[in-house]
Amino acid sequence: MDKIIIRGGKRLTGSIPISGAKNAALTLLPCALLTDEPLTLRNLPRLADIDGFQHLLNQFGVSTTIAGSRPEDFGRVMTLEAPRITSSVAPYELVRKMRASILVLGPMLARMGDAKVSLPGGCAIGNRPIDLHLKALEALGAEIELAQGYVRASAPDGGLPGGRFGFPVVSVGATENALMAAVTARGKSTLHNAAREPEIVDLCNLLVAMGADIEGIGTSDLTIHGVPRLHGATYRVMPDRIEAGSYACAAAITAGEVTLVGAQIDQMEATVHALRNAGIHVEPKDKGILVAANGDLRAINVSTAPYPGFATDMQAQLMAMLCCANGTSVLTETIFENRYMHVPELNRMGARIETSGRTAIVHGVPKLSGAEVMATDLRASMSLVIAGLAAEGETQVHRLYHLDRGYERLEEKLALVGAEVERVGDD
């Protein structure tokens, strides 16, 4: 198993290319199940989760081909074809490591009228039930059965009739599953209090490119008029706003100046607002976003919230940055109840963080010190890397498989802006 060694204290300067969004790509890939024509996705990040989802789609009979590209390039082009579905089962061994696997349920139900999907896994950051996925699909006319660790969903003869569902709480994944199920329903479907994340907009835009009829894109009320079939399309995955925010925090904690090439500022307004409040200069550029810091970070208070609020996926990275801010910051995690597992590891590096329930109090310190630390989940992993970039001495981050799920060739991108980072075999 690999580890990353970081020799901190280097000021990050230069440009970092921002990859296609992992959270968007994992939603766009299952759209291949909705058509018997080719679907080509551009700007697809090279990540372990993408590879895992590709293997899951292969299980259903989807063929996947990657266009010729140089190994040193970031991103890739993948064409997916599903002229015939050969299986309707997503087995445990393919699903258990990746929560996004549940997103095959809606499109399989729409295409085949039947799907059997193992209950999903993923990061251990708290309870993330799929009850809203199932309730939304039931509202569209599906019959749901849970047995022996699997979800079995079936549609009546003739396919889903469509229906109306109001989400009692905002759920990104459930909104995505319901959208994909509804696009070929026999009638009209309405989703109220739907998630509004840019990744949802990206999914809607792809579905429309494939022939879907969706009203209210970008709002919390979506109306889907079912169409008989969808066709193929070529589509570019949106840039990863979480990756961009992560590198912005890395630039800030090192008093650096970094251009995030390809990032779109309008997709990450809450993150930009928090960074600016902390004294960091952030401005849009022709090719992306410029982030510049002078080493004088200010303490701030932030609460996570569904979009357009501050993303829970940015909480750990912002916390790492605030470890070196002047004053005391207060972070409140409202989405997941177990997303402070990085706190003990940051404290090992000299941070002063206290937690109480869903609140973390971060007392800024003059400096951090390198240490051996253990990654516990994807975003926690990145928080440790960010802290290591500013720490005196050497930091070793273990359990890199978490990072490889969500950050494309992290050490190569950091090296582009002057970081001293290397990946080595873990003894």
Active site residue ranges: 123
Q: Coil, strand, or helix at residue 375?
A: coil
- The two beta strands, 2-7 and 213-215, are unpaired
Residue 71 annotated as part of some ligand binding site: no
The answer on whether 44 is annotated among ligand-binding residues is no
The tokens for 11 are 């000021």
Strand-pair category, 89-90 with 114-118: parallel
Q: Is 128 annotated as a binding residue?
A: yes
Backbone angles phi and psi of 214, in degrees to 5 = -125, 130
Q: Tokens 């909104």 appear where?
A: 175
Q: Which residues contact 199 (CB under 8 A, 6 or more apart)?
A: 21, 23, 24, 27, 172, 176, 238
In this structure, the dihedral spanned by the alpha carbons of residues 43, 47, 48 and 50, taken in order and rounded to 10 degrees, is -20
Q: Residue 213 has what DSSP assignment?
A: E
Closest CA to 102 of 65, 131, 64: 131
3 is in an annotated binding site: no
User: Which of helix, strand or coil describes residue 362?
Assistant: strand
Retrieve residue 49's tokens.
């989760």
Give the integer Cα–Cα distance in Å for 320 and 382: 9
The reply to whether 326 sits in an annotated binding site is no
How far apart (Å, rounded) are the C-alpha atoms in residues 66 and 124? 31
22 is in an annotated binding site: yes
Q: Which two tokens stand for residue 237?
A: 């995955």
What is the helix (H) or strand (E) element at residue 135, kind and residue range?
Answer: helix 131-139
Q: Identity (one letter) of the amino acid at 264?
A: Q
Q: CA 7 from chain center: how many Å?
A: 28
**Do the annotations mark residue 338 as ligand-binding?**
no
| Surface-to-core class of residue 149, CB atoms within 10 Å of its CB (0-12 exposed, 13-18 middle, 19+ buried) | exposed
128 beta partners: none
The answer to whether 129 is a known ligand-binding residue is: yes
Which residues participate in the annotated binding site for phosphoenolpyruvate? 22-23
Which residues participate in the annotated binding site? 22-23, 99, 128-132, 313, 335
